[in-house]
Amino acid sequence: MEALQMEFVRNALWAGVLVSIACGIMGALVVVNRIVFISGGIAHAAYGGIGLAIYVGISPLLGATLFSVFIALLMGLFTFGNREGSDTVIGVMWAAGMGLGIILVDLTPGYHPDLMSYLFGSILAVSKIDLCFMALLDGLIVLVIVLFYKELLSFSYDDTFSATRGIPVRALHFLLLVLIALSVVMLIRIVGLILVIALLTIPASIAGQYTFSLKKMMQLGCILGAVFILLGLWLSYRFDMTSGATIVLVACAAYLLSSAGKTVALHLARRQRS
């Protein structure tokens, strides 16, 4: 408990709660739209933005934000109306972003010890400014969902039909990817860009196993995300392990347990009927 006396621990806890809102809401949209690969691509390509920021000497987080939004828009161009058929292009952008980041860091003189934190996260180094950025982003996400929930639901379920109703499906597609890019940047602080995809998919897909409404999937996803992050944080503190990786492993274990439980329950129900 004495850990709570320290500001960086309190900041970490706040960060965990704040990112879980983005996890739950955007995660649900990622899962039901089956754009996990696109989201992974944006997350990894964000490294290009970090490299670029270090090269020109601006804040890496600002670089990552601008660059991942740019990548999201570019991916939007290639994937609109062709969500499944653009695997290769996503893979190329995924790799190109990372490659660019590495080369730009090489070209910048000096040693950059904090680079690892962007790859694997550093929730214990979250600052007050980071927390403000996260709160602002959560506010934006919640606002968009409250305003456009029915359009996003419809677009996610059947974009062709939505288009016949005159819904701006193209704009929604880009909006979705930009919000994912911003969430990715936020999650990079917590678990690092390599593990972002875990927090963007696992809480939401576990939630999806227990509900038949996108709204409830988002709510449950938020709660699960917060539980995984806080539990992972405590375990990493208790056993002195890397926080980002511990959080992700907690989430993975929960996913495994939930899926196994679901399978067993289904099996028992079937046996009871016959």
Partner 1 sequence: MNPPVVDIEQVNFSYASQTILEDINLRVAAGDFLGIIGPNGGGKSTLLKLILGILVPDRGRIRVFGEPPGKVHTRMGYVPQNVHQNLHFPIVAMDVVLMGRLNPRRLGRPFSRQDRDIAMACLEQVEMGGFAQRPMAQLSGGERQRVVIARALSAEPDILLLDEPTSSIDPHFEEDLFGILERLNQRMTLILVTHDIGVISRHVRSLACLNHTLICHPDGQITQGMLDATYRCPVDLIAHGLPHRVLPHHPEKE
Distance CA 77, CA 61 (A): 24
Among positions 117, 211, 219, 242, the unique one binding partner 1 when judged by CB under 8 A: 211
Please tell me the count of residues contacting partner 1 according to CB under 8 A. Answer: 26
Written as one letter, the residue type at 189 is: R
Closest approach of Cβ 132 to partner 1, in Å?
A: 27
Distances in whole angstroms, Cα of residue 263 to Cα of each of 6, 110, 267: 43, 53, 6
Please, what is the minimum distance in Å from the beta carbon of residue 212 to partner 1?
4
User: How far is C-alpha 52 from the chain's CA centre?
Assistant: 22
Residue 108 or residue 151: which is nearer to partner 1 going by CB? 151
Q: Which of 3, 36, 70, 151 binds partner 1 (CB under 8 A)?
A: 151
- Residue 102 makes CB contacts below 8 A (sequence gap 6+) with 47, 51
- Comparing CB distances to partner 1, the nearer of 162 and 236 is 162
Check binding of 214 to partner 1 (CB under 8 A): yes
Q: Which of 137, 170, 171 is nearest to 65 (CA)?
A: 137
Burial 133-145 (b: 16+ CB within 10 A, else e): bbeebbeebeebb
Q: Pick from 208, 221, 225, 244: which binds partner 1 (CB under 8 A)?
A: 208
Q: Is 239 in the site for partner 1 (CB under 8 A)?
A: no
x/- contact string, 16-35, with partner 1 (CB under 8 A)?
----------------x---
Question: Nearer to partner 1 by C-beta: 151 or 230?
Answer: 151
Q: What is the DSSP letter of 5?
A: G
Q: Which residue has the tokens 């809480």?
A: 203
Least distance in Å: CB of 57 to partner 1?
41
- Give dist(CA 237, CA 222) in Å, integer: 23
* DSSP state for residue 4 in the 8-state scheme: G
Contact flag: residue 168 with partner 1 (CB under 8 A): yes
- The footprint of partner 1 (CB under 8 A) covers 32, 147-148, 150-151, 153-154, 156-158, 160-168, 208, 211-214, 216-217
